[in-house]
């Protein structure tokens, strides 16, 4: 009996070690709790983030232990990547946004248009309009296909009444990045310097890769199986994140 208990403890221990290695060095699951990346990421999406894409820092590990201030096997992210990062305000909270500005870039929003290095980012309006969540509100928005300087395309949405305020110019510091939510009128991102602002490369956690599960939490959670036919978004299962 004692031997069996010890074997079970060893099995559990090894399983925890394997899970920790996978989570820290390969893939980590994340949950989307807000609407800031709609329509591309929706509340209730669960996704995998690759930890190896940009290399490793202390934020690659659980609880962000202060082991080193350096980044190892560092690889630079690309404009348009959807990235999970730790907010500079507390180095603890996970945010997920789209990378817009690289080190040295000048970012500005004028009359609802996004400018990078004084050039307006081309965008093409989609025929359909979206209804987007923003807190407890549902907003009617205009959807556009934006094309970044490197050719990356994605859908961004703006309030139909064009409420997005003009900004001053943001000059991205060395070794930092500038992020925006795709739901532009409902996202706390690098425009808010006191809470997010410019994000250090050491704060990057990983690149969002694929949605593996999604359910509409307004209808019911996973444990309410009798509502699965209405709450589960099967069309989003194993959807690649662009």
Instruction: For each of the domains in the chain, give its residue range(s) and CATH number, in order of start.
Output: 2-104+177-240 (2.10.109.10)
What is the sign, positive or negative, of the torsion defined by CA atoms of 66, 78, 29, 35?
Answer: positive
Structure pTM?
0.90
Residue 162: band (very low, low, confident or very high) from pLDDT cuts 50, 70, 90: low
* Listed residue (123, 158, 120) closest to 38, CA to CA: 158
CA distance 200 to 174: 9
24 vs 152, which has greater pLDDT? 152
pLDDT at 161: 66
37-42: average pLDDT: 95
Instruction: Work out the percent of the chain whose per-residue pLDDT is above 90.
Output: 60
Residues forming the active site: 36, 97
Residue 79: band (very low, low, confident or very high) from pLDDT cuts 50, 70, 90: very high
25 vs 221, which has greater pLDDT? 25
Taking a C-beta distance cutoff of 8 angstroms, is the pair 37, 182 a contact?
yes
Strands 130-134 vs 119-120: parallel, antiparallel or unpaired: unpaired
Tell me: pLDDT of 238 over 80: yes
Taking a C-beta distance cutoff of 8 angstroms, is the pair 220, 194 a contact?
no
């Amino acid at each position: 009996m004692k031997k069996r208990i010890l074997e079970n403890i060893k099995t559990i221990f090894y399983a925890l070690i394997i899970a920790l290695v996978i989570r820290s060095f390969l893939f980590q699951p994340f949950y989307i709790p807000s609407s800031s990346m709609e329509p591309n990421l929706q509340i209730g999406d669960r996704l995998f983030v690759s930890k190896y894409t940009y290399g490793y820092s202390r934020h690659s590990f659980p609880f962000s232990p202060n082991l080193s201030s350096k980044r190892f096997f560092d690889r630079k992210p690309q404009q348009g990547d959807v990235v999970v990062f730790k907010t500079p305000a507390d180095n603890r909270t996970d945010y997920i946004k789209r990378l817009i500005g690289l080190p040295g870039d000048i970012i500005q929003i004028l009359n609802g248009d996004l400018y990078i290095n004084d050039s307006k980012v081309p965008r093409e309006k989609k025929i359909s309009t979206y209804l987007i969540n923003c807190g407890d509100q549902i907003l009617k928005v205009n959807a556009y296909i934006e094309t970044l300087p490197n050719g990356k395309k994605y859908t961004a949405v703006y309030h139909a009444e064009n409420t997005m305020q003009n900004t001053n110019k943001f000059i991205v510091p060395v070794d930092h990045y500038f992020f925006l939510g795709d739901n532009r009128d409902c996202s706390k991102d690098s425009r808010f310097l006191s809470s997010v602002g410019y994000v250090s490369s050491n704060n990057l956690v990983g690149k969002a890769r694929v949605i593996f599960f999604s359910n509409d939490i307004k209808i019911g959670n996973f444990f309410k199986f009798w509502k699965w036919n209405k709450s589960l978004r099967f069309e989003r299962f194993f959807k690649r994140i662009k």
